[in-house]
Amino acid sequence: MTIGSLLETLEASAAGTWVRESTWGFAIVVGGHILGLALSVGVLAWFDLRLLGVGVTGVPVSRVFRRLMPWAFGGFALMFATGLLLFAAYATDAYPNPWFRLKLIAMTAAGGNALAYHLITERTLARWDRAATPPPAARLAGGLSLGLWASVVLLGRAMAYTMF
């Protein structure tokens, strides 16, 4: 199966057709996508600010992560589920769109940055968990996360304006 036929199959699926052709499908899915984005990126920003030593500096980094991130993960789940539905509805238009590809690259980079933080930087967390200003590697991870997720939002809007 070629990529082209896979994209056409996605568009012809029941989910893709519902989003594209029903009266409220597109509006409901886009609304959910925006809410998921606001919840995920909006809450994640507070953990990033803690890593930067700018916000809620009185609370250990590990506790900010444990208490806030489940909400951000809920938002990410909603954002990804609705994003997949939107992609299914307009797969053949989205796939070649350069802004969509840049958005995927920015998302992958954000995921890589989070993975690097958890696998490498977090190993020494016990030493700086309560520090108001975390070490440079943690601050770099927080700054990169903020910048990359802001880029994802901007690229998503650029994609929408060049597709519809």
Partner 1 sequence: MLYWLEATAAAVAIRDSLPVTALLSGLHVIGMAVSVGAVVVMTLRSAGLALHDAPIRGVIDPASRGLLGGAALSLTTGLLLVLPRASGAVENPYFQRKMLLLAVAVAFHLLLFRRLAPRASRVTGWLGAIDLLLWGSVAVLGCMYTLVE
- CB nearer to partner 1: pick between 60 and 135: 60
Does residue 154 bind partner 1 (CB under 8 A)?
yes
Does residue 126 bind partner 1 (CB under 8 A)?
no
d(CA 99, CA 61): 34
Least separation in angstroms between residue 142's CB and partner 1 is: 14
Q: Are 107 and 147 spatial neighbours (Cβ–Cβ below 8 Å)?
A: no
One residue of 15, 56, 116, 137 binding partner 1 per CB under 8 A? 56
Q: Are 102 and 155 spatial neighbours (Cβ–Cβ below 8 Å)?
A: yes
Question: Where in 9-148 does DSSP place strands (E)?
Answer: none
One residue of 55, 135, 143, 147 binding partner 1 per CB under 8 A? 55
One residue of 7, 10, 41, 148 binding partner 1 per CB under 8 A? 41
Compute and round to an integer the Cα radius of gyration of the chain.
Answer: 18
Least separation in angstroms between residue 3's CB and partner 1 is: 26
Does residue 43 bind partner 1 (CB under 8 A)?
yes
Does residue 95 bind partner 1 (CB under 8 A)?
no
Q: Which tokens go with 88?
A: 């299914």
- CB nearer to partner 1: pick between 7 and 144: 144
Which of helix, strand or coil describes residue 162? Answer: helix
Does residue 51 bind partner 1 (CB under 8 A)?
no
Residues whose CB falls within 8 Å of the CB of residue 5, separated by 6 or more in sequence, listed in order: none
d(CA 103, CA 23): 28
Q: Which tokens go with 92?
A: 């053949």
Interacting residue ranges for partner 1, rule: CB under 8 A: 26-27, 30-31, 34-35, 37-39, 41-46, 55-56, 58-60, 63-64, 67-68, 71, 150, 153-158, 160-162
